Amino acid sequence: MPSLYVSQPGAKLEIEYERLLVTIQDEVITRIPIANINQIIIIGQAGMTTPAIHSLLYRKIPVFFLNRAGSVYGGLLPNLDSSFQTRKQQYGLLDDERFKQAVSREQIAAKIHNQRVIASRLHRSNQLVTPKDLAALSQLRVEAEEAATIEVLRGIEGTAARIYFDTLSRVIPIEWHFNDRNRRPPRDPVNAMLSFGYSLLVTAMCGSLQLAGLDPYAGYLHSPSRGKPALALDLMEEFRAPVVDAMVIAAVHNHRIHTNCFSESSEGCLLNEKGRRIVTDLFIEKINQPLQTKQIRRAISYQKHFEVQARHLKKSILHPEIGYRGFRIR
């Protein structure tokens, strides 16, 4: 369990010798050796003690905080003195348009490739996803690989997203009221799950980039601004479809979650406490699934793939001539 998610209201993270304890009203509900954890995600009204914070930072384990809707408030990032040269190179490339375009093209091309694979799998069992949809995504992937500027690339990404989510809307049961991708706020349960899942995913990216010695807040496709983890958002693009989208589709079709797991408010449609626990558990289950790719011939978990891609991105930053290859599923 590289990541520990603490989401129960009133839960508190404590430290006892070399173990992390999750307690509720002084009752221990989980004990985990601290050596088994790479990052902590605190969701909603859960908290942690000062000794636990000190122990985690001493062991260079980052902590990220999400609100009930899944938005990332920020995090506690330990000092990584040994990564100074890596980060210096990372920051220096923020003004290198050629490097930024090359990495961004590859990340968006990989994203569209993975969207097409998910759509293709849906096509096998549902003819509402058509060969025309798949052909359009294939063409947009090629266009992304050849995009002249990041602005053009973003336009291609947006077109691909509209086609892709339109295909998803045709295969998700009508009672879920999913017609398109919407957020801020999400207007239906599927979008609530997608938004919350993407927030969990971006925290996983932050942890993997931190372990690689990179600054999650200095990105190339997403501009560093307003405290957003831009590089984590960059890297997340490759994993959205195979991790979060596939998880949500499976949860709906396999009845792993139900409409009573959501609530309507002025903030839109949100997961309630029960829903957040279910989606968090589904996310943990998903990122621990093994997967083999063309680049890595043996099956490793998605969590390990996050770390591999973060190290690959680090290598391309330190040696731009090598180039970057995005994560692609088969």
Q: What is the CATH number of domain 83-322?
A: 1.20.120.920
Could you tell me the CA-to-CA distances from 137 to 109, 119, 219 in Å, in that order?
10, 9, 25
Domain 3-61 carries which CATH code?
A: 3.100.10.20
Question: Where does CATH 3.100.10.20 sit in the chain?
Answer: 3-61
pLDDT tens readout for residues 206-252: 989 988 999 999 999 998 777 789 999 999 999 999 999 999 999 99
How does pLDDT run across 83-129, given as a tens digit for each residue?
Answer: 788 999 999 999 999 999 999 999 999 999 999 999 999 998 887 88
What percentage of the chain has pLDDT greater than the value 90? Answer: 65
Task: Select from 188, 143, 149 the least CA-distant residue to 165.
Answer: 188
Tens digits of residue pLDDT in 151-178: 999 999 999 999 999 999 999 999 999 9
Is residue 282 over pLDDT 70? Answer: yes
pLDDT of residue 38: 82
Before 185, cis peptide (omega within 30)?
Answer: yes
Sequence-distant (≥ 6) Cβ neighbours of residue 54 within 8 angstroms: none
Mean pLDDT across 182-203: 93
Q: How far are the Cα atoms of 11, 20, 68, 212 from residue 17, in angstroms, in the given order?
A: 19, 8, 31, 27
Decide if pLDDT at 199 tops 80: yes
**Location of each CATH 1.20.120.920 domain in the chain:** 83-322
Predicted confidence (pLDDT) at residue 81 exceeds the cutoff of 80: no
pLDDT value of position 68: 72
pLDDT for the residue numbered 125: 83
Condensed to tens digits (0 to 9), the pLDDT of residues 5-42 reads: 888 888 999 999 889 999 998 899 889 999 888 889 88
Element (H, E) at 290: strand 290-291
Indicate the pLDDT class of residue 80, thresholds 50, 70 and 90. Answer: low
Give the residue, 63 or 114, on which the prediction is more confident: 114
Q: With 80 as the cut, is the pLDDT of residue 198 above it?
A: yes
Pairing of strands 47-48, 11-16: parallel
Average pLDDT (275-298) is 91
Mean of per-residue pLDDT scores for the chain:
91
Statement: residue 82 has pLDDT above 70? no
**What's the average model confidence in pLDDT over 126-152?**
94
Residue 1 has pLDDT above 60, yes or no: no
Please provide the DSSP assignment of 36-81 as one string: G-SEEEEETT-EE-HHHHHHHHHTT--EEEE-TT--EEEEE----G
